[in-house]
């Protein structure tokens, strides 16, 4: 690893920086209109009583350069935990320095140290630079899988339906 590059776990003091990276990522992915993250929410879910995710930060020559946010999942087929990489982002001015690769290697190391059977993530289908990067690291797309998502009103409607059915039960 280049001596100018340092990777470290985020602390609660890093919440404003984490949010700034998330805002930049949302802009890059053309999803700023979906961004609802706040410092308070990040503080609660990353550093609160029951943290749900972790963040590692990359610094180049002492300056923030990128981040990765991840959490554990579980593979029933492997009967082992895994790591799901929710977001990996490197500031444009720091790209091409090996920072993304170093973050991915760091996550692979965490996964193996924790006994995980896999490290996985999703990539927007139009994001060819990221697809090419991940393939160059040995990752394989799982094209036989389709990601489904419930969120917002649909999530609440399904939860309410389950509550109504339980009450009628």
Fold topology of 5-168: Aminopeptidase (3.40.630)
Whole-number pLDDT of residue 161: 87
For residue 9, which phi and psi values (nearest 5 degrees)? -70, 145
Give pLDDT, residue 165. Answer: 80
C-alpha 100/C-alpha 134 separation (Å) is: 10
Residue 94: the pLDDT is: 96
Per-residue pLDDT of the chain (169 residues; tens, 9 = 90+): 578 999 999 999 999 999 999 999 999 999 999 999 999 999 999 999 999 999 999 999 999 999 999 999 999 999 999 999 999 999 999 999 999 999 999 999 999 999 999 999 999 999 999 999 999 999 999 989 888 888 889 998 998 987 778 788 6
**Predicted pLDDT at 169:** 66
Q: Where are the alpha helices (DSSP H) in the chain?
A: 15-28, 39-47, 99-113, 128-136, 152-168
How many C-beta atoms lie closer than 10 Å to residue 111's C-beta? 20
The strand pairing partners of 44, in sequence order, are: none
**Whether the Cβ atoms of residue 90 and residue 60 lie closer than 8 Å to each other:** no
Sheet of strand 5-9, all strands in order from the earlier edge strand to the far edge: 5-9, 54-60, 63-75, 80-90, 119-120
First to last CA, the chain: 59
pTM of the model: 0.90
Rounded Cα distance between 77 and 118, Å, is: 11
Question: How many angstroms separate the CA atoms of 143 and 165, rounded?
Answer: 36
pLDDT score of 143: 87
Query: Which residues are known catalytic residues?
Result: 134
- Angstrom distance (rounded) from CA 69 to CA 67: 7
């Amino acid at each position: 690893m280049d001596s100018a590059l340092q990777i470290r776990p985020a602390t609660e003091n890093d919440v404003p920086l984490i949010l700034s990276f998330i805002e930049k990522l949302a802009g890059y992915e053309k999803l700023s209109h979906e961004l609802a993250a706040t410092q308070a929410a990040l503080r609660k879910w990353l550093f609160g009583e029951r943290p749900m995710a972790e963040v590692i930060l990359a610094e180049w020559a002492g300056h923030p350069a990128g981040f990765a946010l991840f959490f554990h999942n579980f593979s029933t087929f492997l009967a082992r935990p895994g790591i799901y990489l929710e977001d990996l982002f490197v500031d444009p001015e720091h790209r091409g320095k090996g920072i993304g690769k170093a973050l991915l290697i760091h996550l692979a190391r965490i996964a193996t140290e924790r006994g995980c059977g896999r490290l996985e993530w999703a990539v927007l289908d139009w994001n060819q630079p990221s697809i090419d990067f991940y393939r160059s690291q040995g990752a394989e797309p799982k094209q036989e899988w389709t990601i489904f998502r419930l969120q917002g009103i649909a999530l609440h409607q399904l939860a309410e339906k389950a509550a109504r059915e339980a009450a009628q039960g």
